[in-house]
């Protein structure tokens, strides 16, 4: 699709406006954290929903709701008060390759994060390590992975928390960070993390098969692999249109790929 830079921006803005709407929440994994109002519940529910966000979206949403039910639909309260025996309730949970062993460890690690590290926001945006300077997305994910796997863990579970330092596209973590950090008046993304070290300009565009294919057709991405180098290329190109909020165009790319089969 050959468009001038001005035409491409207009097209992306139009599609962003079309798909960044409350009406699309119900069919998206972001519907899971939208069930809650407490900050900690939102960020925990969002993290777990993002973690299993691959495959059919109906299945993702159903299984994420199962996880919420297993946490008594009060994720933060459950994690704070859970005793070792309480984690046995996850023994039958499975979503594709994410099984009971992974689920139990995720609960234990999240409990550790809230009891000893100040919660998920601080696990990603580590003020002490940043020394007041703006962080980048790769550093935020690295901070989180270090803390998340700081307690004994099954080796198999590390594959469920991607690592951009190993050139993974880290799609689900980029999506999670978009949900938590990005804010606008549409109220789809939550924007509940307000740390000045890490704002919307630092986010990286979630990249999957759908958004990658659309981005290539639009001339926004030339790298053939969907990896961290491709994420960087795509995000940098989107910054030409909005340097302060480049990932808002994720709505456009995803919507074009999923709903319009562009």
Written as one string, the DSSP assignment of 21-39 is SGGGGGGSGGGTGGG--SH
Cα(252)–Cα(216) distance, rounded to whole angstroms? 13
Q: What is the distance between the alpha carbons of residues 89 and 99, in angstroms, rounded to a whole number?
A: 13
Tens digit of each residue's pLDDT (9 = 90 or more) over 188-207: 999 999 988 899 999 999 99
Q: Dig out the tokens for 7 from the structure.
A: 């035409």
At 161 the pLDDT is: 97
For the record, the structure tokens of 111 come out as 């409990």
Q: For residue 103, what pLDDT is reported?
A: 97
Residue 73, pLDDT score: 98
- Residue 136, classified by CB atoms within 10 Å of its CB into exposed (0-12), middle (13-18) or buried (19+), is middle
For tokens 């302060």, the residue is: 244
Closest CA to 127 of 173, 44, 195, 177: 195
d(CA 225, CA 147): 29
Closest CA to 114 of 31, 36, 38, 190: 38
pLDDT of residue 133: 63
Among 29, 19, 18, 20, residue whose Cα is nearest residue 187 = 20
Tell me the C-alpha distance between 226 and 159, whole Å: 17
Question: Residue ranges of the chain with pLDDT lower than 70?
Answer: 1, 127-134
Q: What is the pLDDT of residue 126?
A: 75
Q: Which among 252, 140, 261, 256 is positioned nearest to 205, based on CA atoms?
A: 252
Q: Can you give the pTM of this predicted structure?
A: 0.96
Q: Rounded to the nearest 10 degrees, what angle do helices 171-181 and 39-51 cross at? A: 160
CA distance linking residue 108 with residue 60, whole number of Å: 22
Q: What is the pLDDT of residue 1?
A: 66
Are 3 and 239 in contact, with CB atoms under 8 Å apart? no
């Amino acid at each position: 699709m050959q468009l001038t830079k001005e035409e491409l921006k207009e097209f992306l803005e139009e599609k962003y406006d079309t798909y960044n709407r409350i009406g699309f929440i119900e069919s998206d994994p972001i519907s899971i954290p939208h069930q809650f109002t407490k900050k900690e519940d939102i960020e925990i529910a969002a993290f777990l929903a993002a973690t299993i966000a691959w495959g059919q979206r109906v299945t993702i949403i159903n299984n994420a709701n199962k996880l919420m039910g297993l946490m008594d639909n009060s994720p933060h309260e459950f994690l704070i008060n859970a005793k070792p025996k309480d984690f046995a309730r996850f023994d039958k949970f499975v979503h594709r390759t994410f099984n009971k062993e992974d689920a139990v460890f995720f609960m234990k690690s999240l409990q550790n994060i809230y009891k000893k590290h100040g919660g998920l926001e601080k696990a990603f945006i580590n003020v002490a390590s940043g020394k007041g300077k703006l962080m980048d997305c790769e550093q935020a994910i690295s901070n989180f992975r270090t803390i998340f796997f700081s307690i004994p863990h099954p080796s198999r579970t590390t594959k469920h928390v991607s690592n951009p330092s190993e050139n993974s596209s880290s799609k689900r973590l980029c999506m999670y960070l978009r949900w938590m950090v990005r804010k606008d008046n549409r109220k789809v993304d939550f924007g509940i993390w307000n740390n000045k070290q890490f704002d919307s300009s630092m986010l990286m565009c979630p990249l999957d098969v759908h958004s990658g294919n659309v981005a290539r057709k639009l001339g926004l991405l030339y790298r053939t692999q969907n990896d961290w180098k491709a994420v960087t290329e795509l995000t940098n190109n989107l910054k030409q249109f909005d340097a302060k909020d480049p990932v808002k165009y994720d709505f456009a790319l995803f919507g074009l790929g999923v709903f319009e089969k562009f």
